[in-house]
């Protein structure tokens, strides 16, 4: 009997020792987790500060380059025009990188501001059209086409964020399309949604990459990255913004044939007399 009691006591001591060890390991893991979270927060804060500080002088550089190209400071020679164009083009790429880093830091920190208000889709399309036509001009074998349906209802969204989403999708489509077209269509779907679709005849996306296409820093492969550049943040930002605007985004693609990104935004369902924007359906 005494032997049995002794063995039970040994077992109990062993269990207690294991419990204590597990508690210590759990405390260590919790402390490590806290440190990693703090490091992640500091990283995002650093990226936000860095992006802001770099964007301010970069915007000035781009502004002066644009004024030079417009001849504000006098005529440029052909060689000078090529140099200033090169400065502006690469400065714009760097600005896009800075804005992507700033946006992703804000999204991760939960500090991105959303301003929901009535919006007439036709007003937005005028600015989007100008952006697309200017962007596609550098590619002689690519044309921009649009199909904006009549009778679109007003929507409730953040105009700046929706414009960012659409210009980002168009920028990607133009970047990955060497010949053919980049198309933007806007249609009404039922009584509650307006659908924006960006379609291209570019390189397409392999089926294996589609499930992760909206994950941060995801690009198709190293060869594509070297050829086309980019951060791999654009689609992540699009998805995050669409979610915050109460919309939905989906992608379809065929390698070698092109891709189609569709974005649904909610219709402004308030009574017509209460809406300062939107067009009657």
Q: What is the pLDDT of residues 174-220, one digit of tens each?
A: 999 999 999 999 999 888 899 999 999 999 998 988 988 898 766 55
Judge contact between 260 and 253, C-beta under 8 A.
yes
pLDDT over threshold 50, residue 142: yes
Helices (H), the chain: 2-69, 78-109, 121-136, 159-175, 222-228, 234-244
Q: Are 278 and 204 in contact (CB under 8 A)?
A: no
Task: Tell me the average pLDDT across 208-233.
Answer: 72
pLDDT band at 275 (very low <50, low <70, confident <90, very high): very low
Structural domains of the chain ordered from first start? 1-112 (1.10.287), 117-274 (3.30.565.10)
Categorize the per-residue pLDDT at 24 as very low, low, confident or very high, splitting at 50, 70 and 90.
confident
Which residue matches tokens 């009535």? 118
Distance CA 281, CA 279 (A): 6
Share of the chain above pLDDT 70, in %: 88
**How wide is the angle at C-alpha 38 spanned by C-alphas 36 and 44, nearest 5°?**
105
* Claim: this prediction has a pTM higher than 0.85: no
Measured between alpha carbons, how far is 175 from 136 in angstroms, rounded to an integer? Answer: 9
- Residues 6+ away with beta carbon under 8 Å from 201: 177, 179, 180, 181, 182, 257, 258
**What is the rounded distance in angstroms from the CA atom of residue 140 to the CA atom of residue 131?**
16
Structure tokens, 213: 């296409």
User: What average pLDDT does range 119-126 have in this prediction?
Assistant: 92
Confidence of residue 17 (pLDDT cuts 50, 70, 90): confident
Rounded-to-integer distance, Cα 120 and Cα 127, Å: 12
**CA angle (168, 174, 176) in 5-degree steps:** 105
């Amino acid at each position: 009997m005494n032997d049995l009691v002794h063995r039970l006591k040994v077992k109990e001591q062993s269990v207690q020792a294991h419990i204590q060890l597990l508690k210590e390991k759990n405390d260590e893991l919790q402390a490590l987790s806290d440190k990693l979270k703090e490091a992640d927060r500091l990283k995002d804060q650093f990226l936000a500060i860095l992006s802001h500080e770099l964007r301010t002088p970069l915007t000035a550089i781009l502004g002066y380059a644009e004024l030079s190209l417009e001849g504000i400071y006098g005529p440029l020679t052909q060689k000078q025009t090529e140099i200033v164009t090169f400065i502006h083009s690469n400065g714009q790429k760097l600005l896009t990188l800075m804005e992507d880093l700033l946006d992703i830091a804000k999204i991760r920190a939960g500090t991105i501001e959303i301003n929901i208000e009535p919006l007439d889709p036709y007003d937005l399309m005028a600015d989007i059209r100008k952006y697309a036509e200017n962007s596609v001009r550098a590619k002689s074998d690519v044309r921009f086409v649009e199909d904006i349906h009549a009778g679109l209802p007003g929507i409730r969204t953040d105009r700046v964020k929706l414009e960012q989403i659409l210009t980002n999708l168009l920028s990607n489509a133009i970047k990955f399309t060497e010949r053919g077209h980049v198309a933007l269509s806007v249609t009404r779907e039922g009584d509650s949604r307006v659908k924006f679709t960006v379609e291209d005849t570019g390189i397409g996306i392999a089926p294996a990459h589609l499930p992760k296409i909206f994950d941060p820093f995801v690009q198709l492969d190293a060869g594509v990255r070297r050829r086309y550049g980019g951060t791999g943040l654009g689609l992540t930002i699009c998805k995050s913004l669409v979610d915050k605007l109460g919309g939905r985004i989906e992608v379809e693609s065929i390698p070698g044939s092109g891709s189609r990104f569709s974005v649904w935004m909610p219709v402004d369902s308030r009574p017509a007399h209460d809406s300062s924007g939107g067009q009657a359906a």
